[in-house]
Structure 1
Amino acid sequence: MLASVVIACYRHESYIEECLETVYRQTFPDIELVVIDDHSPDKSFEVAQRLTKKKSFSKRFVSCTLLRNPLNLGAHCTWNRALSLAKGDLIFFLNSDDAFSKDRIRIFASQYDNEKLFFGFSAVEPIDERGRPITTHQFPTSLRYAIDRARITGSPLSWSFLDSQIAASTGNFVLSRELLRKIGLLSDLKYCHDWEFALRAITVVEPRYVESDRYMYRLHSTNSFRSLSNVAESETRACMSSYCMNAIAQRPINRACLSPINFGDAFYKFIKLHPNFNYWAKQLYAPYQPDHRTVDWNEWTMPPDWR
């Protein structure tokens, strides 16, 4: 099995070498590396080029590709260019300022087992600018809480993605090539392209969570989420619309995905208790309600009383 690691690089000259080294040190043998630099104004590309030109580095990989966009195209275009070049059966995203644990690819490869449709992510460990673990930050705890809550309640893990992007980052995604063919590339969003992508993925397959493996997520002053928070509200609406179109307006392939077609009246009972999804359905499901039909029960579903 061939594993592809795709990296979208932008303005991370201080971190890109460490990022690439963690791919080099993977215990899994057959890896293809694809790095696309989004016309970084710093020396990110030059640092990556210097490392990939080393014979000892490039020989470790089945293939090693480093390209630079002719101009700054944005994160989603850079990810999509990298994905279009990936040939592996299993594709690993990796942010250029983050890092992999040494067994990450091997662990996911053992979970994958040649499944046609696969979507996974792991636990996240925040690190600082020097690569040291941050034990005081709350966001890993909140992500684990969301996952643990799904386990305790017995609800599918895909439902937790309706609250937030519980994988924390695009770089934490692992998916099969076949799933990528089915759901398509990342959408043109600056802040929420990863969440929208995940919401499309969960309508097709239930996500896998690997607790034993860590994705090292670096927190620093130039994190994209800090600079793009002003567009979060409008892009959240785009994510809502995407999910509704893929899970509500048609039958989802993933039969555990939260949808009126999958769960009938239980869907409405659930969303009344779910603030995020209640809002989604009020704003975006309303146009479909008059024509919606529950296929399994062969009867019309009853829209909830929104008053």
Structure 2
Amino acid sequence: MLPSTSTKDHQRSMMPLVTVALPAYRHEAFIEETMLSVYHQTYDRIELVIVDDRSPDETLGVVQWLASRPWFRARFERVHVVQNEANVGAHASLNRAMALAEGEYISLLNSDDLYAPSRISRLVEVCRSSNVECAFTNVEPVNDAGHSIFSDSLAQSIALNPRRVIENLPSLSFGFLRYQLSSSTGNIFLSRELQQKIGGFINLRYCHDWDYMLRLISKVEPVYIDEPLYRYRFHDGNSFRSLSDVAEAESEVVLSRYYLQVLLGEVKNRKAPSPYNWPGAFEAIAGHFEVFDLWRQISGDYKAHFRTVDLRHKRNSSVGLYRSRFAALEFSAGTDGRSG
């Protein structure tokens, strides 16, 4: 016997509402396909919030046309489209979209990228079954036409780096010392409760998503789903192509902010990279990733702050273990999976 309509309605009402927060800017060629990838999700309860950042092209026009179609609106619990009064940048558009969210979970999406149909269903399933508040998935790099590409070295790095971290490092969050493992702002999925604790994105042009993930891992250990459920589009307009000149300076800002959290005791996630959570291993891994000198500059004589227990045995054994694993690592120098 098929379930009754009332049973289906009850089952649906028990599902958490997910807000897809979509900041849009100058992507008239891609935004319709992006919105349709949300429309075709297998998950039922979705609201769609789109914030256009005063796009100089027809991005807003395409958004408004599709969002006004009755068949499109009927699929969602709410479709909300707004435009900023002035161009304020990606970080501010993301913050506005998240502030408008009413869902229990917030799923970010870039206006040139795509969701695989089962993405939200899998993220909700994993977060609820594992009782976690933040997750991201493997990424499928695609070209302008939406076809998979793996010939590009950066595309390969994006797809493989999370797996390498899981195989070689003591925790998933350790990888964020070197990489923005989720690869893109749009690959971030988190509970609204956690988002309210973390706050918004800061005003960085290139590394705002990396900074956000480091702030997330300071509170919780994320979950990685090794399925290519986020389709990251490589094209000539990707921001990483035009903003690489600010990468080094912003990277130092981001890591300095995280290290300051460590020193202030604000890193509550016991799996997060810090010398207090992973004595010995932290020093070795940070050295391998070439970010230990910055830690020393910021922390000074941090050893004085270690917990008052004998950590020497754990430190010595950890260093030996992880140094042997480093020999097998093949992270590509200079490729950090930056988003566009």
Normalized against structure 1, the TM-score is what? 0.91
Any idea what SS the aligned residue of 2:96 has?
A: helix
Residue matched to 1:58: 73
2:226 to 202, 205, 211: 211
Does the 8 Å contact 1:116/1:176 carry over to 2?
A: no
Any idea what SS the aligned residue of 2:277 has?
A: helix
Any idea what SS the aligned residue of 2:161 has?
A: helix
Whole-Å Cα distance in 1 between the matches of residues 102 and 116 of structure 2?
Answer: 22
Inter-CA distance 248–267: structure 2 relative to 1 (3 Å threshold): farther
The alpha carbon displacement at 1:127 in A equals 1.2
Whole-Å Cα distance in 2 between the matches of residues 111 and 197 of structure 1?
Answer: 21
Render the CA deviation track for 1:3-45: whole Å, top value 9, x for unaligned: 1100010000010000000000101000010000000000000
Inter-CA distance 81–95: structure 2 relative to 1 (3 Å threshold): same
The reply on whether 1:177 has 2:218 as its aligned counterpart is: no
The alpha carbon displacement at 1:261 in A equals 2.1
1:27 to 42, 50, 54: 42
Residue matched to 1:297: 309
Comparing 2-11 with 206-215, greater Cα deviation is found at: 206-215
What stretches of structure 2 of length at least 5 have no aligned partner? 1-15, 316-340
**What amino acid sits opposite 2:264 in the alignment?**
A
2:212 to 197, 203, 212: 197
Residue matched to 2:28: 13
Identity of aligned residues (%): 37
Render the CA deviation track for 1:45-83: whole Å, top value 9, x for unaligned: 010000000111011111110001111000000000001
Whole-Å Cα distance in 1 between the matches of residues 263 and 174 of structure 2?
Answer: 14
* 1:254-293 equivalent positions in 2, closer than 5 A: 254-272=269-287, 274-286=288-300, 289=302, 292-293=304-305
**What amino acid sits opposite 2:100 in the alignment?**
L
Whole-Å Cα distance in 2 between the matches of residues 48 and 251 of structure 1?
Answer: 40
Does the 8 Å contact 2:150/2:156 carry over to 1?
A: no
* 1:1-307 equivalent positions in 2, closer than 5 A: 1-113=16-128, 118-153=133-168, 155-272=170-287, 274-286=288-300, 289=302, 292-295=304-307, 297=309
Residue matched to 2:8: none
Normalized against structure 2, the TM-score is what? 0.82
Does the 8 Å contact 1:116/1:178 carry over to 2?
A: no
When the two chains are superposed, the root-mean-square deviation of aligned CA atoms in Å is 2.1
The alpha carbon displacement at 1:115 in A equals 7.0
